[in-house]
Structure 1
Amino acid sequence: MSYGNKIIRVIKGRRPKIVVIGGGTGLPVILNSLRDKNAAITAIVTVADDGGSSGAIRNYINVVPPGDIRNVLVALSDMPADFLNVFQYRFNGNDSFFAGHAIGNLIIAALSEMEDNIFDAVQKLSKMMKVDGHVFPASNEPLTLNAEFTDGSQISGETEITHAGKRVKRVWITNTDDQNKTPEAVAPVIQAIQEADVVVLGPGSLFTSILPNLMIENLGEAVRTTKAEVIYNCNIMTQLGETEHFTDADHVRVLDQHLGGNFVNTVLVNTQKVPDDYLDHQKYDEYLYQVKPDFAGLRALGCNVISDNFLDLHDHGVFHNGDKVAAEIINLALQKGTRKRR
């Protein structure tokens, strides 16, 4: 890790400001690695999840679903591993009342009631958990993800969208409790985006983890107009019902279409082939094929391309190598920070 260590020495006097936007299981991997490189991190986390423990809590208690927030808090926390293991513990299926619930989700839900909103609850919990950085829910209110499919039909709810078995054409979000109220991000979220050296999108599901954040009008506008370098960390695998047979350029094209203009500056692309028959398709049933490269298409969209072996294979799953991705993000942040100071 000489490259990473070199970066840390260079930025000792100034921590680059990095905003990472998304949700899902890929986000904590990148955040963990960025922590090790002495970055000033703000994680903006989707609040449109309605599945699993998060969805059940959301149905019982009128709070923003806490699952992705919980995982990000753990990724950035300086608390001992024993505490974090308890925070992440999920009750067994035979515990009828608590079955499937993570303790951390229950704590976040409780604090949301105590503080009367999710944003203040997460800030208080961040201090309690000694989080190195900021964790901001994308919205202070529960949001519902809506989708239109290529056949013209529409449906609401992240779980329903991912299990519809159709190709998604576009998504948008609405306020869960008040359809007439325009969803918005709170001021600290917008300020973090405006002041960042780089804004990182992904990895994560294009339509159900990344775009739900960008479809919050003032948040999407902040990303579209920020002076920061906007980086898209392209997924390694395509996803059932979302990005089947997509190239890397197709992913960016969808982002541009949703925000109304070319706004992605740099795309990180994995070029290492996933070995045949390595992926356990039963365990990772949403993953289909490896994303196809289209460097000419990316350049036509105005994107710089950084390609490398970003692959990390374990447990018969396909993941990003967090250290390699974080090193590229830090390097871009340093370059952007230097240009800003000039």
Structure 2
Amino acid sequence: MNAPLKRAYAFCARFGLRVPILLAPMAGACPPSLSIALMNAGSLGAAGVLLMKPAEILAWAEEVRSKGAGPFQLNTWIPDPPPARDPAHEALLRDFLAGWGPTVPPEAADATPPDFDAQCEAILEAAPPMVSSVMGLFPPAFVARLKERGILWIANISTVAEAKAAEAAGADIIAAQGAEAGGHRGCFDAAGAERQAVGLFSLLPAVVDAVSLPVVAAGGIADARGVAAALMLGASAVAIGTGFLRCPEARIHPAWADALARTAPEDTMISCAFSGRAGRSIATDYVRAAVAEGAPAPAPYPVQRGLTAAMRTAATKDGDVQRMQAWAGQSAAMARAEPAADVLHSLWDGARALLEG
């Protein structure tokens, strides 16, 4: 057996998996049904719990634990500093957004995410085999509590410097996320998220060389060739998000799922147009207008998320992908509208054939 396959199988044996292809945690797009299907097929389930209250976190974990035969992870954001508020600029944004959806009331900008400390307590109570972080590192006291309970920590990073910091902070696994990834990237510095857009196949080998921990490759992987290439470059496993979104178990809006199939790599765009944090989505009419010259700059996270909520809700109700928060990685068109287990096994069978050949 060659070195990439030995490394992948060793990762699976260590962490209770049969397939070294993990579900990437996606806030708002990781229903229990998707994790259950993948866990039962030998993968790692995942939930992005950023928008979930403690009771919702516990309910999600209870359902996947009762129906899924395998491990799972719970993922949350490290909080940003309180956003700088500018009422005059927020008024400009409300006027702009009114052209894309319902009238936006001033109080929409006051939106706040669920309490991080309460989420952490719920995560500990749920006792998943693994947790993961994005946008920074867990506080040392929380890391100590994870280790007391034997819960492994996957630290999502986007630069070599972040990977080294995560290893020093006690992470057990590094998830190296390239700029090709859909949705929000796990950048520690919000201001630098768009400037430091490192592609996966430059980031991955540099991170593998810089740390002694197992590295999971994420961002733009959606077919067997990508899986095999990541393992050849030193990854122990890969994480896939967009590549599973067209599976029926993902339960995303049909208009979003259909649009993914038509999205070329150059038809995606990184912007702060939906949340105030840099994220890659389909380059829809709204996104292009929001980043055009003369458009008001997005407010910081989570103010922008609150301001765009009415538009996003209306777009989903109307089935209008041009106004939806249609996250998409650059390999979106490779996603297949097939059962998640079938996609998983096809990816791994194909990657293994490439690596063995």
Q: TM-score range with shorter-chain normalisation?
A: 0.3 to 0.5
TM-score w.r.t. the length of structure 2 is 0.34
- Could you say which structure has the higher strand fraction? 1
- Could you say which structure has the higher helix fraction? 2
TM-score w.r.t. the length of structure 1 is 0.35
